[in-house]
Structure 1
Amino acid sequence: MTKSDGFGFGTQIRKSPYFDATVRWGAQGFSVYNHMYIPRDFGSPEQNFWNLVNDAILCDVAVERQVEITGPDAAKFVQMLTPRDLSKMAVGQCKYILITNADGGLLNDPILLRLAENHFWISLADSDILLWAQGVAVHSGLDVSICEPDVSPLQLQGPKSGEVMKALFGDSIMDLKYYWLRKFELDGIPLIVSRTGWSSELGYELYLQDGTRGDELWEKVMAAGKPFDLKPGHTSSIRRIEGGMLSYHADADINTNPYELGFDRLVNLDIDAEFIGKSALRRIKKNGTSRKQVGLVIDGAPLTGPNTTFWAISKDGAVVGKVTSAVYSPRLEQNIALAMISTGCSEIGTVVDVAMPDGIHKATIAERPFFDPKKKIAAS
């Protein structure tokens, strides 16, 4: 490992094309996601949250690596990977999908982008789907090519993100619909722009297609956003937990199935395609699940940061689940959490005990998402 600007970095973990820009703009800490560094600290997480919900923030999310699938059988192959029905997915559309294994376990919950009839990107959460897809392709008998392209997304999120985009691309960007994409060039920088993002706010993702121009793109966006109080930022744990958004490895993993997460709408067992996990998911749906994801409101003083371990949940002295993601919401003035819990204890209003580092706290099962449950803000 070598030292750079006070951080220790090695070549086995990749830096994004925006890395130097984020350090220059005040990044104070990083974590690792998809074998890449991601900025996780620009100062106060609470201020980052308020910047997001009141104005706009720009986030380096190049860690959302792309799996590119092309070839005559690309559409058929992509449908093999997911239980969501893609038969009506148009060119230029994006969809939130689940990728499942033969047991119905969740391998990733990415965004799928359809750039052309036989051209897809899978914009990943934190797991190695490139390897999975290449492995599945080997004996599939389908004519596809699978690689990781030179693509690095930025997230521009918040209520003023539309104004920043208009300053960058003109009025035509305003008719880009939620979960759709469009090709752009910004002073010669090749981009795919989508109305998506990991924030539950109005937002856009800018998929840079030339990694040598990352620094230039970052500075152009920040300059355009200056009149709108755009700030450099990081994906907000506060906002994503308010919005009930999953963080893979925390809220779900290979041993979690879609029905436990309440994702029935993303599983279509009636389509003709024999997607991976179809028989297992059919069996799980028939038999029901023994646990489910819920929201929790936890009593006590405001949490000083997100949980770094899973906290055991008990009812009448017996462990019945675990807290997977917890944070204090300054807007709701509550400690809120996502949890996986026994179905017998999952009814809204049920009071349980949570074993936290400072002792046992009472918590109440609550509806999730905690804020804007219909996603009206993001879709506006």
Structure 2
Amino acid sequence: MSLVQRGARLRRSPFHEATQRYWPRGFTVYNHMLFPTNYADFEEEYWHLLEHVTLWDVSVERNVEVKGPDGARFAQLLTSRDLSRCAVGQAKYVLIIAPDGGILNDPVMLRLGEDHFWFALADSDVLLYAKGLAAYAGMDVELAEPDVSPLQLQGPRSKEVMRDLFGPGILDLRYYHFVETELDGIPLVVTRTGWTSEIGYEIYLRDGRRGTELWDRIMEAGRPYLIRPTGPSDIRRIEGGILNWGADFTAEHNPYEVGLERLVDLDMPGHFVGREALRRIAAEGVRRRLVGVEIEGERLDFNATEWAVLADGEPVGEVTSAIWSPRLRKNIGYAWVPVERSATGNRLIVETGAGAREATVVAMPFVDPQKRIPIS
């Protein structure tokens, strides 16, 4: 279960050869691409993220590019968030909505022009869905997966590394905004975004032939600040209330169940797929919700499968992600429960990998609920 079968079917990122020098301990597959999971102990990488700066290959966030005369109309068709409020040079966290109101993906979207967009995807085949939608939309639009591969530079010293790479002007870049630039002639897009709830940036490589060159340049600039490569920090993303599509929610869930109704603009002037379904769901209400939970007892390992949630001795839901937070000294996570069990303070039983444990519904995020850290 610990090996990933190699083959040409599994793509490698432009940074793959560079990452091998640091001996990644494991890989998973995400969007048909090999994805390094970690280079050291997960908790060690977590503390390094909190105290220093980390570099993470997130090329697996494959992009769908939308452009053409009807690019803006088609991009709006994909998502429930009002894109008329998104300026060129701005990024937005958005939802790709199915006709029944389910969430097909939750990408970060970049608006590069009035009719030019990138959607940096979680792990699902949105390009195929978009092509099918375009075939019947009657719009003049081009859809493709561009030669774009992001890295994440995250942690409290990431600003110093960025300043040394790009000059002090890069520090004026606002949260969820981006700039098109270059480094030593390497074409890039730099955004003030990330998947860590820490201060950070994403650096989108626009020429896949220069991955090793860019990686080495960043590692060199980060050496005075103790930079090191890591994989995704599930500890930090759960602390920060960041959800993982495919694990915490899927196409079977809608924004109102997940707690992402702020990303739904039912009264916007533009049209999007699933609008009437979401309007009906909003009027009728939902029967289940995704909630934060604290699970009592000794440290738990990160769950590899869903854990059953019980109330009054009966199964009522499941834990999707659960992990030990070293700084909170608690087991924290997310669980699907019926609406009547979703209020803060409700008591539950979770069938963990270490046996039954008592749990309590709590507010999310668990750390920095006002998002002051990443915005700073």
Please, what TM-score do these two structures have when normalized by structure 1? Answer: 0.97
User: Residue 357 of structure 2 is aligned with which of 351, 356, 361?
Assistant: 361
The CA RMSD over aligned residues, in Å, is: 1.0
| Rounded Cα–Cα distance in structure 2 between residues aligned with 1:355 and 1:172 | 51
Q: 1:174 corresponds to which residue?
A: 171
Q: 1:19-58 counterparts in 2 under 5 A?
A: 19-58=16-55
Looking at structure 2, the residues matched to 154 and 26 of structure 1 have their Cα atoms a distance apart, in angstroms, of 18
**1:63 matched to which residue of 2?**
60
CA deviation profile, 1:338-377 (whole Å, cap 9, x unmatched): 1111111111111100011221110111111000011110
Indicate if the aligned counterparts of 2:300 and 2:354 stay in contact, CA closer than 8 A.
no
Alignment of 1:174-193 (within 5 A): 174-193=171-190
The count of aligned residue pairs is 374
Aligned ranges 1:321-332 → 2 under 5 Å: 321-332=317-328
Which letter maps to 2:331? N
The one of 241, 261, 267 equivalent to 2:264 is: 267
Deviation at 1:8, TM superposition (A): 4.6
Q: How far apart are 1:274 and its partner, in Å?
A: 2.3
Q: Distance in 2 between matches of 1:355 and 1:283?
A: 34
Are 2:248 and 1:242 aligned?
no
**C-alpha deviation, 1:7, in angstroms:** 7.0
Deviation at 1:179, TM superposition (A): 0.3
Give distance in 1, aligned partners of 2:306 and 2:74.
Answer: 36
The Cα of 1:173 is off from its aligned counterpart by 0.2
Q: Which amino acid aligns with 2:61?
A: E
Pick aligned residue for 1:233 from 222, 230, 233? 230
Of the three residues 341, 344, 347, the one matched with 1:345 is 341
Normalising by structure 2, we get a TM-score of 0.98
Partner residue of 1:147?
A: 144
Moved over 3 A (4+): none
Residue 74, structure 1, aligned to residue 38, structure 2:
no
Do structure 1's residue 373 and structure 2's residue 369 form an aligned pair? Answer: yes
Q: Deviations over 1:118-175 (max 9, x none)?
A: 1110000110011111111011011100000111000000111010000100001010
- Superposition deviation, residue 117 in structure 1: 1.5
Q: How far did residue 317 of structure 1 move?
A: 1.0
Aligned-pair distance for 1:313?
0.3
Q: Distance in 2 between matches of 1:153 and 1:141?
A: 32
The structural deviation recorded for 1:9 is 1.6
Identify the residue that residue 287 of structure 1 maps to in structure 2.
284
SS at match of 2:258: coil
- Report the 3-state secondary structure (helix = DSSP H, G, I; strand = E; otherwise coil) of the residue aligned with 1:30: strand
Please tell me whether residue 84 in structure 1 is matched to residue 78 in structure 2: no
* Alpha-carbon distance between aligned partners in 2 of 1:346 and 1:259, rounded to the nearest angstrom: 13
AA in 2 matched with 1:109:
D
- Structure 1 Cα separation of the partners of residues 233 and 142 of structure 2: 35
| Cα displacement (A) at 1:320 | 1.3
Q: Secondary structure, in 3 states, of the residue corresponding to 1:206? A: strand
Q: CA deviation at 1:272?
A: 2.5
Distance of 2:305 and 2:106 partners within structure 1: 22
Residue 119 (1) aligns with residue 116 (2): yes
2:303 is aligned to 307
- Structure 1: segments with no counterpart, 5+ residues: 1-5
